[in-house]
């Protein structure tokens, strides 16, 4: 497998900062405001770049250099971010994000560590054959579980579904009940792309996700009642940031 690397003094075309300024360990989040919040946990923080949905910081966590970068919503746009991070030399990337619960015991405010992802993302099908799996690095998974245990936080562990469509439509209907029967624990929009690109670049990746609803249990597959702006979700998101950062430096 050939790894693509860019010179340290080159500027990443989309993320907009010098490749050599990126730490080897990076926390990625969807929301630029969440990236700013995560950067607030670091010491010696520097803003590296700010273009479109991509906001990037560097700093230190427990005396280890780390980066924090936002990737936006959806695998295609997020993959631009992930690709440039790996080309710049990122070796360990953890996504701290949100997801919908898929099982009866995966509820608002819970956390999920994603061991693998179902590739219904619309991006990775253009990168590798459908038989190629999207899996986390077991060392990163162990780090996330250890960080969660140290924080006294329980997590669910399992396969997540990465989809390209957030709001479902009646033309094709929803596949969520099928994936629920298959044991998938949560649904989100970027993990499969992260895991595939990490594998291709021989890097390590993992993800910890805050559950902001369960459309199957709530019988709300149309997402009409979706509301992520609640204290229970905000607390879970904060936990993903702290656990994700701690796992990065383990």
CA-CA-CA-CA torsion sign (33, 36, 106, 115): positive
Print pLDDT tens along the chain (250 aa).
557 889 999 999 999 999 999 999 999 999 999 999 999 999 999 999 999 999 999 999 999 999 999 999 999 999 999 999 999 999 999 999 999 999 999 999 999 999 999 999 999 999 999 999 999 999 999 999 999 999 999 999 999 999 998 887 767 678 889 999 999 999 999 999 999 999 999 999 999 999 999 988 766 666 677 788 899 999 999 999 999 999 999 9
| 3-class SS string, 24-60 | CEEEEECCHHHHHHHHCCCEEEEEEEEECCEEEEEEE
d(C-alpha 125, C-alpha 247), whole Å: 29
Helix (H, G, I), strand (E, B) or coil at 71: coil
- Structure tokens given for 171: 């033309």
CA distances from 40 to 37, 46, 82, 197, 242 (A): 5, 11, 22, 28, 11
Taken in order of first residue, the domains within the chain and their CATH numbers are 19-248 (3.40.50.1580)
Q: What share of the chain is helix, strand, coil (3-state, %, to 5)?
A: 30, 30, 40
d(C-alpha 58, C-alpha 50), whole Å: 13
pTM of the model: 0.95
Q: Residues 17-49: pLDDT tens digits?
A: 999 999 999 999 999 999 999 999 999 999 999
Active-site residues: which are they? 212
Q: Residues 210-243: pLDDT tens digits?
A: 999 998 876 666 667 778 889 999 999 999 999 9
- Structure tokens given for 75: 């695998």
């Amino acid at each position: 497998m050939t790894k693509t690397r860019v010179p340290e003094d080159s500027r990443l075309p989309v993320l907009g900062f010098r490749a050599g300024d990126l730490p080897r360990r990076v926390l990625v989040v969807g929301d630029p405001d969440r990236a700013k919040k995560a950067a607030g946990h670091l010491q010696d923080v520097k803003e590296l770049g700010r273009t479109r949905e991509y906001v990037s910081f560097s700093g230190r966590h427990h005396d280890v250099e780390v980066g924090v970068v936002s990737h936006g919503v959806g695998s295609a746009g997020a993959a631009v971010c992930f690709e440039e991070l790996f080309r710049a030399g990122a070796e360990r990337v953890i996504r701290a994000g949100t997801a919908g619960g898929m099982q009866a015991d995966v509820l608002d405010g819970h956390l999920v560590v994603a061991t693998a992802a179902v590739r219904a993302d619309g991006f990775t099908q253009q990168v590798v054959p459908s038989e190629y799996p999207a899996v986390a690095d077991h060392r990163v998974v162990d780090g996330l579980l250890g960080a969660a245990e140290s924080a006294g936080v329980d997590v669910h562990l399992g396969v997540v579904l990465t989809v390209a469509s957030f709001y479902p439509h009646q033309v094709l209907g929803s596949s969520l009940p099928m994936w629920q029967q298959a044991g998938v624990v949560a649904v989100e929009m970027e993990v499969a792309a992260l895991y595939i690109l990490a594998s291709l670049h021989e890097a390590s990746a993992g993800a910890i996700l805050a559950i902001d609803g369960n459309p199957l249990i709530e019988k709300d597959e149309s997402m009409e009642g979706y509301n992520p702006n609640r204290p229970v979700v905000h607390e879970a998101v904060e936990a993903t940031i702290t656990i994700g950062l701690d796992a990065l430096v383990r």
